[in-house]
Structure 1
Amino acid sequence: MKFSENWLRQHVPTTATRDELVATLTAIGLEVEEVTALGESLDGVVVAQILSAEKHPEADRLQVCQVDAGNGEIAQIVCGAPNARAGLKAPLAKVGAVLPGGMQIKPAKLRGVESFGMLCSAKELGTDGDASGLLELPEAAPVGQPVSELLGLPDASIEIKLTPNRADCFGVRGIAFDVAAASGGAVAPLAIAPVPAASDARLDIELNAGADAPRYCGRVIEGVDASAKTPLWMAERLRRSGVRPVSLLVDVTQYVMLELGQPMHAFDRDLLTGPVGVRRARAGESLKLLDGRDARVDGQFLLVTDAGKPVALAGVMGGFDSRVTEASRNVFLESAHFAPHAIIGRSRKLGLHTDAAHRFERGVDPELPRTAIEYATRLILDIAGGTPGPVVEAALIEHLPQPQAITLRRARVARVLGLEIADGEIERILTALGLAVDASADGWQVTAPSRRFDIAIEEDLIEEIARVHGYDAVPTTLPAGASRLVAPSEETVEDASVRRQLAARDYLEAINYAFVDADLLAKWGLTEGAVTLANPLSAELGVMRTSLLPGLVAALGRNAARQQPRVRLFELGNVFTAIADAAPLHTRRIAAVACGDAVAEQWGAAEREIGFHDLKGDLDSLAALSGARLDYRPSKPAWAHPGRSADVWRLDDRGKDVRLGWIGQLHPRLQQALEIDTDVVAFELDLVPLLARPLPQAGGQSKYPSVRRDLAFVVAESVSWAALSASVRKAAGPVLRDLVLFDVYQGKGVESGCKSLAMGLILQEQSRTLTDGEVDAAIAAVTTTLQQEHDAAIRG
């Protein structure tokens, strides 16, 4: 929200300096982002009138002007502005003046012609960025008057950063209440007398959107001179608030919005037939907006209609076909209340951002529409004339917010804030903020004004007292009592250990938004169960992620595109899945992605691109933290490279294996769609079952010798070691202490399509020495099981 300092001071008189005012705004939660001083040094700059403008004898783009500077003083000025002409009134910087940019005005000779001063543009005065020509002043401006007096200077343009709950401060008057409370002043009364109707001209209003649009006010004004020029004082306040003046009728609606916080719209009455209504849009309807674009809407949008035909996108933007122009003579003013839930996200869905939508999304005072329409009527009549009809109001009272008294307990204030604040000070603060306060035995009954949507409970009132009284006044104390230390559970590996392990293996941690682009999920084929946001930060962050990989791979792609050939990233975070009639399901996962060389460039190792087994080794190192035994089973998700992809399972000794996630290489087609030129390997696993570990149990070292038997089996090439090892452990039973694979062979002596796996079985009992018969029985069981389950044969 940007506004003029002088405009604010008009609503809340204060002797505070500009620096003090800015500090006060920030201290009470209205953070000041920027302050632009305007017209700080305009001594010697006066209103002047050009009496004549002749072409310069030696330059085509210069004119020699005779200028009346007041008090009978005529000055010769050489000017290059394209709008310099006889009769124009413009600012004149006299000889000796110093302009805000530091330029000192001296007598000069331009192409042989003397010049005594300078006619100025708005940019040269430091009031605006427009340098296209001289600043044109009103014809009624007195010649010789200091320009600072005419323009209300010096001034400052102040921009504040508002939190979403402070919608009441999207108007200068709303800010004034906070400043009054903090400075001990009072807000000047708002004297807006109702304008009586002078004709019967009216349009009926119909409300068909229920709680989405519970109030709508309209008024017809006939015989308006829409070509009248916006007064200088109004145009300057708009400019200092970041709004470029357009035309009188549009400027009036913008001015009322900036001062009171109520968005308005003006229609050309002659382009309407009536009645005017508000309803939900129908699927497939379209409307040409003021900016010329065609907006296709659906049932989520509200429309303002004329005889059922859409003429405006309610709460967002007016329609092109019913807009006012300088040729308009009869005007229909609109001032309405639209519920925030009916407007939130609608403008972003169309790629728009409007001041009206920005305010309605956060909440506008439902009692303000009639006041705003009376104010706008008075401004239009005073500037452009016209004959007003009656204000026509339609309201659904049952859907309008009703004020509720809130109990504020004296003891509760002291307990929450940790300090005693005098009753008189509490009452002063709340009253200055515009709240109605009635004292009671234990405290007060407080009723918030309709513009304060953010005040609903006792704690909200205490927060108001704290921020206005001053956060610096709240004492800093250490909490009393002993803190209970909770030991971390031994049944799970801590996240910090996971991070350290991956960092030790040359990965960097990434933190991505939990919101992603729906189109990105569609490229991955991961849209099922996606949670769509009702009010996204942007169109590119419209859904909750169903997987960590899309965001993580996008981060890898950005790094690779910036000349980073070897990228290794990991992320711990939640993914979200929509559940019918319930809150979305949160699942904590870990994912990693890598591309480029397997090891950093060095002289001691040959250059080799990272592959599936490199990433599998990294994953196995994570599993070792919890003692998990992993099994890799072939899989073919849509985003994975065929033949280089596997589901990851955690093996359970009781036979209750758990699928953890996926590991493999991305499909070349997906990499092409993501514009990544290098092969990418990745994994993503559910974190909780991966990190679960049994409670460690102490056990003594066996005093009895172990027995090792080495066996080599020939199996089909498609048989995995994970499947074989599971069968061996099952067949050998509890006497198997360890199992190692020490050789894999294919070649001479082994049938084509097969492979030889040599393994060592280490057998041991805790309480006695194994007999040869027990060892032979275990080896026989293993041999028989492998033959039956995997068609394995002892290698000769």
Structure 2
Amino acid sequence: MKFSENWLRSHVPTTASRDELSAVLTAIGLEVEEVDALGGGLDHVVVARIVDAVRHPEADRLQICQVDAGRGELLQIVCGAPNARPGLVAPLAMVGAQIGALKIGAAKLRGVDSNGMLCSAKELGLDSDASGLFELPDDAPVGQGLVEYLGLPDASIEIKLTPNRADCFSVRGIAFDVAAATRSQVVPFAADAVPATGARELAIELNAGAEAPRYLGRVIEGVNAAARTPLWMAERLRRSGVRPVSLLVDITQYVMLDLGQPMHAYDLGTLSGPIGVRRSRAGESLKLLDGRDAALDDSFLVVTDADRPVGLAGLMGGFDTRVTDATTDVFLEAAHFAPAAIMGRGRKLGLHTDAGHRFERGVDPALPRAAIEHATALVLELAGGTAAPVTEALRAEDLPSPSPIALRRARITRVLGITIDDAEVERILRALGMDVVAAGEGWQVTAPSRRFDIAIEEDLIEELARIHGYEQIPTTLPGGAARVAMPTETRLEELSVRRQLLARELQETINFAFVDAQLLQQWQLVDNLVPLANPLSAELAVMRPALLPGLVATLGRNVARQAGRVRLFEIGRAFAAQAGEGAPAPLETQRVAAVVCGDADAEQWGLAARKVDFHDLKGDLEALAAASGAELTFKPSAQPYGHPARSADVYRGEVRLGWIGQIHPRLAKAMDIDVDVYALELDLAPLAARELPRASELSRFPAVRRDLAVLAPDAVAWTDLAATVRLAAGPLLRELNLFDRYVGQGVEPGFKSLAMGLILQDKSRTLTDRDVDAVVTEVVAAIEREHHARIRG
């Protein structure tokens, strides 16, 4: 928000200097980013009129001007500005003036004497316009000092606002904060109703429900739209970063900056009525003020004339109904639109406007009437005309209304650690425009309707803290004993998960929690999606239902930048919409995901280079599972984004944790990734859960190992076979290792040879050959019975 210092002081008289004012604004949360001083060093610059101008005989672009500076005699000035002409009133730097680094003196230009310099606004440091001389009104008093005439010195102050302070997108809104912080009073403002002298009205229809609950309009006939914007208004706009355009447009801009209410002016001759507000329809289009054609869908609000769109509500008016210098009758609009109805709509069209910026954050719903009366008075004063009555359409039940908030003395002390006098509490809150009534142990406080950010007691305490001064709150160390929270032993902490993955040479990454809907379609993840109501862009419009789409995209970006070996992981939340009444909140699941590609090992001389494969990533996962004591099983997966022969669903007992495998080559190609990518994604909570550790005695007796080679049908998975072996071997089995798999010569078609090692041990005695043979016999019988497997001959 950029504004004129003098404009602010007209709302809140304060004796604070410019530096003090800047410091106060920053201290109360309205951070000053830039202060551009205006009018310094212009003591010898006066208002002057060009009486005559002739071409310089030695230079086509120069003119010899005779200038009246109010000194009784004409001064000869050589000037190269393209707009220099007889009758023009412009600033003149007299001989002896210092303009920036330039000292003005008598000079000869191409042999012609020049006694001063006619100036542009940029040369004077008042604006960035250097296209010609700074044109002053024809009635400007010749000879008067420019500083006095323009109300200088002044400063253009730019502040950085947080999104919750929408009320400070106006000079008057800022004035309340300044008044509270400097113990001043805001000058009362009352937009008196302008008497109606005309009779023409346009009916107004609201058909957008709570999205547009208030709309005011007024017809003003017989205006002189070609009248010049008065200098005082033009300067306030210019010093606030707004270039004056035309009188009617400037008035609406001025009211918006002054009070905070965006407005729009329509050429009444282009309207037939009634005026309405409704949702746009898919396929509609509207030519906007900037000349572009906006293709609309059903998410926009439009202002209509006889159901024909004539403006994007809260964003920009239409081109065909704009006011011009030829306009004689005007229709003024002031409305309240709900922030949710405007959020993100401008970004859809690549459009950023001052009105949209304000409506997105919230505009005072009580402001439209005061704004339209204020604008009407300015139009009648500066452009003439007759005003009809204000027409209003209102859905009172849909207007936001502030509720009283209980503020307790004890709570203030508890939160801030200091006691603020009752009188100071009431002074601060009333200076901020709040209604304060003493009640019980504190007060009942009602915030003004412009303060959307005040909703609970802590909001009021925050206001007290920032205005009373953070420097008034002492710095103290917390007292008392600190509670020590012991970490649970029944789950693996996230930090331990991160350390484990880092130890496996995986690098952590953080991706956005929202992704492109088209990317999810490539992954065939289209069920139970959670779309964003106000996305940053079309590419980030859906909450992620899984971590892998974003993580694989990150891998792809690294591969595209010549990263040969990429190993990434992420721990984050995935989101899924829930069905049910009352629009339940999306289901959030904490997950861990990893992606790898390239070489299995970092480049070195001791190992031959080989590409990473499924079993490398499976080893990383099993190492992570071992940290929590989880025993995992793997079953063939049918996930559409996985390679059909190189992917598996991961289980812990009967609970499916997630997926591991190779990303389908078609999907990788669609994402412009030309290497094999292996990935995993699992729910973190069931993976990290572990049983409470219990100490147990180690066996003092030797273990016995027996190796078995069995022929099993190809359709039998090792996990199923291993489960049968463990069940048959019973409590004597300590470990079961698969150390070989063979198919080929010597193995009949349709079968595979699996070699496993059984390690047997008892805690109370040394096992005999009879004990071991009994276990082996039971295992062989079980696998033959359950899986038609047999010992290989």
Does 1:506 find its partner at 2:508?
A: no
Paired with 2:747 and 2:610, the residues of 1 have a C-alpha distance of 29
Could you report, residue by residue, the CA deviation over 1:744-787 in whole angstroms, capped at 9, with x for unpaired residues?
44555445675433221111122233343332222123223333
Question: Contact between 1:741 and 1:760, CA under 8 Å: does it hold in 2?
Answer: yes
Superposition RMSD in Å: 2.5
Contact 1:492 1:626 in 2 (8 A): yes
Q: Which residue identity lines up with residue 632 of structure 1 in the other structure?
A: F
The one-letter code sitting in structure 2 at the alignment partner of 1:491 is: T
Q: Is the 8 A contact 2:344 2:536 kept in 1?
A: no
Distance 1:565 1:373, change over 3 A: same
Q: Does 1:743 align with 2:740?
A: yes
Aligned position for 1:610: 612
Give 1:253-332 correspondences, 5 Å limit: 253-332=252-331
1:111-260 map, 5 Å: 111-260=110-259
- For the residues of structure 2 that align with 1:250 and 1:596, how far apart are their CA atoms? 61
Which TM-score applies when normalising by structure 1? 0.93
Cα distance in 1 for partners of 2:676, 2:97 equals: 68
Alpha-carbon offset, residue 184 of structure 1 = 0.5
What residue is the counterpart of 2:427 in the other structure? 428
Q: CA deviation at 1:297?
A: 4.2
Q: Deviations over 1:600-653 (max 9, x none)?
A: 333333333333222222222211211222233332423233433222222x3x
**Per-residue deviation at 1:709?**
0.7
2:722 corresponds, among 722, 725, 728, to 725
The farther-off stretch of 407-416 and 573-582 is 407-416
Please give the residue correspondences for 1:261-660 in structure 2 after superposition, counting only pairs within 5 Å.
261-402=260-401, 404-440=403-439, 442-581=441-580, 582-650=584-652, 652=653, 657-660=654-657
SS at match of 2:647: strand
Distance across 1 between alignment mates of 2:745 and 2:95: 104
For the structure 1 residues 501 and 426, does the alpha-carbon distance in structure 2 shift closer, same or farther, using more than 3 Å as the test?
A: same
SS in 2 for 1:49: strand
What is the CA-CA distance between 1:692 and the residue it aligns to?
1.3
Structure 1 residue 298, shift from structure 2 partner: 4.9
Distance 1:673 1:107 in 2: 73
- In structure 2, C-alpha distance between the alignment counterparts of 1:550 and 1:516, rounded to whole Å: 8
Write the deviation string for residues 554-586 of structure 1: whole angstroms up to 9, x where unpaired.
Answer: 222333334433322211111110001321101
**Range that drifts further, 89-98 or 187-196:** 89-98
Unaligned runs of 5+ in 2: none
Q: Which AA in structure 2 matches 1:616?
A: K
Q: Please identify, of 168-177 and 718-727, the stretch whose mean Cα deviation from structure 2 is larger.
A: 718-727
- The answer (yes or no) to whether the contact 2:38–2:156 under 8 Å persists in 1 is yes
Aligned residues: 790
Offset at residue 591 of structure 1 (A): 0.9
Per the alignment, residue 691 of structure 2 pairs with 694
Q: What is aligned with 2:17?
A: 17
Aligned match of 1:704: 701
The 1:91/1:291 distance shift into structure 2, 3 A limit, reads same
Quote the offset at 1:266 in angstroms.
Answer: 0.7
Matched, 1:778 2:789: no
Q: Is the 8 A contact 1:525 1:639 kept in 2?
A: yes
TM (norm. structure 2) is 0.93
Q: Could you tell me which amino acid in structure 2 is paired with residue 506 of structure 1? A: E
Partners of 1:667 and 1:73 lie apart in 2 by: 89
**Counterparts in 2 of 1:731 and 1:72: CA distance versus 1, 3 Å:** farther
User: Shift of residue 118 of structure 1?
Assistant: 3.2
Q: Give the share of equivalent positions with the same residue, in percent.
A: 69
The residue matched to 1:46 in structure 2 has which SS? strand
Residue segments in structure 1 that go unaligned for 5+ positions in a row: none
Residue 90 of structure 1 pairs with residue 90 of structure 2: yes
**CA shift for structure 1 position 349:** 3.9
How far residue 375 of structure 1 moved from its aligned partner, in angstroms, is 0.8
**What letter corresponds to residue 733 of structure 1 in structure 2?**
G
Distance in structure 2 (CA, Å) of the matches to 1:179 and 1:766: 81
The separation in 1 between residues aligned to 2:98 and 2:522, in whole angstroms, is: 62
Q: Matched residues in 1 for 2:77 and 2:610: separation?
A: 77
Shift of 1:469: 0.7
Describe the SS at the equivalent of 2:87: coil
Which residue of structure 2 aligns with residue 69 of structure 1?
69
SS of alignment partner, residue 428 of structure 1:
helix
User: 3-state SS of the aligned residue for 1:775?
Assistant: helix
Work out whether residues 348 and 539 of structure 1, in 8 Å CA contact, stay in contact via their aligned partners in 2: no
255-264 or 132-141, which deviates more: 132-141
Evaluate the alpha carbon distance shift between residue 732 and residue 475 of structure 1 in structure 2; reply closer, same or farther with a 3 A threshold: same
Cα distance, 1:258 vs structure 2 = 0.8
In structure 1, what is the Cα distance between the partners aligned to 2:598 and 2:58? 68
Q: 3-state SS of the aligned residue for 2:99?
A: coil
Cα deviation for residue 73 of structure 1 reads 5.3
Q: 2:670: which partner in 1?
A: 673
1:419-477 Cα shifts (integer Å, max 9, x gaps): 22222212211221112233345433333222223333333322222221112212333
Q: Deviations over 1:688-743 (max 9, x none)?
A: 11111122221112233322111122445665543433332222222111122333
List per-residue Cα deviations over 1:497-538 (Å, max 9, x = no partner): 111112122222112221223233223222321111223344
> Any idea what SS the aligned residue of 1:230 has?
coil
Change (3 A) 1:205 1:624: same
Distance in 2, Cα, partners of 1:24 & 1:155? 18
- CA gap of 1:53–1:724, structure 2 versus 1, over 3 A, is farther
Counterpart residue identity of residue 614, structure 1: D
Q: CA deviation at 1:382?
A: 1.7
